[in-house]
């Protein structure tokens, strides 16, 4: 683990603090931009409809972008916006040379098809890393933007010095948003973990997880990972978000697992903040790709 004072849970596990690392990332990016003469680096978001969580997420992204020294630009469309209207707005951002990163906030309203909207984004401006071209670049290990949430998991692993080379990792969840890119990132050269992809239909999930030095829980099932899943001393990173009668919870039963794990992310304050930090990191990288500095 990294040097310095590390916060620990009551059970003794190292707390993988995403809020802290996000703020370190914001400060680092601001320093890089200022050192380059403060070029205008622009992140544009497209928000359709009045979904409250989406509005909160977008506001937070803009606030942190401004703290990092970026220009943030928001396009907001009503719930009634048509497919053509959304695509027209995205096309304008794609064509604008002053915009370096574009994020289309998902989910879109039910009457809209997200796929053709995302397909409009060139890989250089796809700072969410969600298009088929961006994912293809990740598979081929070519320059591009990695999806922000799995990248945030990797940044936490790096920051807290969690060993990956030769270690066993289990990713629970197979979404194209998190699970599949997470497997690729953990297994790629330089990280060199041996990775197992598991999911809600894995029949021996407890036994599979107990073989792991690193567990990334990203299935979206509340508290599906308990202490029986975790080998003592393993690192556990929780990506799942579920809304329950008790509020928002993760895939990991934090109170129980923290007594067994060697390191663990809190919920909230773990991988979520790092999603925003990595969005800003990708936007600065996009500006470099596009020749802004």
Q: Is the pLDDT of residue 64 over 60?
A: yes
What Å distances lie between residue 286 and 97, 199, 220, 282, CA to CA?
Answer: 12, 33, 30, 6
CATH topology of domain 37-122: Rossmann fold (3.40.50)
Q: What gap in Å lies between CA 83 and CA 120, rounded to an integer? A: 13
Catalytic residues: 61, 105, 128
Domain parsing of the chain, residue ranges: 37-122, 148-272
In this predicted model, what pLDDT tens digit does every residue of 168-219 receive, in sequence order? Answer: 999 999 999 999 999 999 999 999 999 999 998 999 999 999 999 999 999 9
CA distances from 165 to 16, 97, 147, 232, 233 (A): 19, 40, 22, 19, 16
**What's the confidence (pLDDT) of residue 247?**
83
CATH topology of 37-122 equal to that of 148-272?
yes
pLDDT for residue 4: 58
Q: Is the pLDDT of residue 1 over 50?
A: no
Please identify which residue in the block is written with the tokens 């928002």. 248
Q: What kind of architecture, by CATH, is found in domain 148-272?
A: 3-Layer(aba) Sandwich (3.40)
Per-residue pLDDT tens digits for 18-43: 999 999 999 999 999 999 999 999 99
pLDDT averaged over the chain?
A: 96
Of the candidates 228, 238, 239, which has an alpha carbon nearest to the alpha carbon of residue 205? 228
Structure confidence by residue, pLDDT tens digits, 210-249: 999 999 999 999 999 999 999 999 999 999 998 888 788 9
């Amino acid at each position: 683990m990294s040097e310095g004072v590390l916060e620990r849970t009551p059970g003794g596990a190292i707390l993988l603090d995403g809020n802290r690392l996000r703020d370190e990332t914001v400060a680092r990016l601001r320093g890089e931009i200022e050192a380059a003469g403060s070029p205008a680096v622009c992140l544009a978001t497209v928000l359709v409809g009045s979904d409250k969580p989406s509005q909160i997420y977008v506001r937070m992204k803009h606030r942190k972008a401004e703290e990092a020294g970026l220009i943030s630009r928001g396009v907001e469309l009503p719930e009634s916006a048509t497919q053509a209207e959304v695509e027209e707005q995205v096309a304008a951002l794609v064509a604008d040379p002053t915009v370096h990163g574009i994020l289309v906030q998902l989910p879109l309203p039910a009457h809209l098809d997200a796929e053709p909207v995302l397909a409009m984004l060139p890989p250089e401006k796809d700072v969410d890393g969600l298009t088929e071209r961006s994912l293809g670049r990740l598979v081929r290990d070519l320059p591009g933007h990695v999806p922000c949430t799995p990248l945030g998991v990797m940044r936490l692993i790096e920051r807290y010095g969690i060993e990956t080379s030769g270690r066993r990792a289990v990713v629970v969840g197979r979404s194209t948003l998190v699970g599949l890119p997470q497997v690729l990132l953990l297994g790629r050269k330089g990280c060199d973990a041996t990775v197992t992809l598991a999911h809600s239909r894995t029949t021996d999930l407890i036994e599979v997880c107990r073989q792991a030095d690193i567990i990334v829980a990203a299935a979206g099932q509340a508290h599906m990972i308990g202490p029986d899943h975790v080998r003592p001393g393993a690192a556990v990173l929780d990506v799942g978000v579920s809304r329950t009668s008790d509020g928002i919870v993760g895939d990991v039963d934090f109170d129980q697992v923290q007594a067994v794990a060697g390191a663990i992310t809190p919920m909230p304050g773990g991988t979520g903040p790092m999603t925003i930090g990595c969005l800003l990191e990708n936007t600065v990288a996009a500006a470099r790709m596009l020749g802004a500095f």
